[in-house]
A and B are shown apart, each in its own frame.
Chain A
Amino acid sequence: MGCRWLSLWKVLGCLFALTLHISIIAANAHAASTIKVGVAAPLTGDQATLGQELKGGAIIAVEEWNAKGGLLGRKIEIVWGDDQHDPRQAVAVANKFVNEGVVGVIGHFNSSCSIPASTIYRDGKVVQITPASTNPQFTERGLWNVFRVCGRDDQQGGVAANFIAKKLQKRRIAVLHDKTTYGQGLADETVKALEKARIKPVYYGGVTQGEKDYRPVLTAVRPSDPEVLFYGGIYPEAILITKQMRELGMKTVFMSGDGVWAKAFIDIAGKAAEGAFITFTPDQTKIKEAQEVIKRHKEKFGTEVGAYTVYSYVAATVLFEAITTTQSTDSIKIADHIRKTKWKTALGPIQFDKKGDVLVSPYVIWEVKDGKFVELQ
């Protein structure tokens, strides 16, 4: 019995090794005729949903360009990088991209990944365009190769604080964050802006991402009797926080940033999400240029676009157009061109400043009303 198993394993092992060889040969034969673009996002792990959003946008852009004949006469090939929203993994992905000789990178999703990866891209002379990393530090360190097509958290935090102080006219604010570069960054920028309006948070604390029980921290927040709870973080934790807050009988208004603008937040938090305020960019379904992308996404994947799908598409098209116009894969030329050009994109006109940020970042307030995100005027 044991012997037979052993030989079976050997056969399986040989087969496996053989297929590996075949695929390596195939990859090498493939490599010469394609032009490689890296797409990095949390494709597996607990933020896989967000990774899929980026993936969808990038796939649509690449298919569109390949149908037009690719770049510089070669087909575009996506190299996937799964960073699992882990900064260490992001660095490994970045090194892999550089070694594989990608002409540009779309990603990463999380600021905590984009920032450490960006210096590796700089050293490897690769242009990086993030669709979704909003932490100011990404572009504040004077790198020549970084761009983002989304806004910045200091802008976002300012809009949130202004809304709390002027529109809601609340003064007792509790602030929680998920200790990540994005979450804590957004929370801190909001606190900074609140302090300018002479509001000092009544509670400030961090929670652990991936945790399921936030009752202990909410129980600790409750005695300070906050009118608004501002959360810096991503939607899975926001769902649990809002639900558990209501279960503990707290009537506090919930407010958060773009990381929570996800359909799942409303679907799963249900009634607990009602009346929550979220800062995010204006309604994409009302941007004329975005409709084509939204339609094609629906056709191809059968689902609605996520918060950052169109951004991912835009990041990819900016890169592709820059390569086509400059007729070059020289990253310095590409970066110069991206910086100088006034872009017409699926998100409307975009222009980058010296640092790589978009010039206008129009954050607006959304409210959850009757199970939907509604943009406030």
Chain B
Amino acid sequence: MNPLDTISGTIIAGVVLAFILTYVIKLIAGV
């Protein structure tokens, strides 16, 4: 099932993505 089919799945996917991208940003910025 696609998590984007539900509102809760969409929000959870967005929060998880935010954490992952924060790690990526910190790696790139070296902070």
- Specify whether A and B are partners: no
Q: B residues touching A (Cβ–Cβ < 8 Å)?
A: none
Which residues of A are at the interface with B, using a C-beta cutoff of 8 A? Answer: none
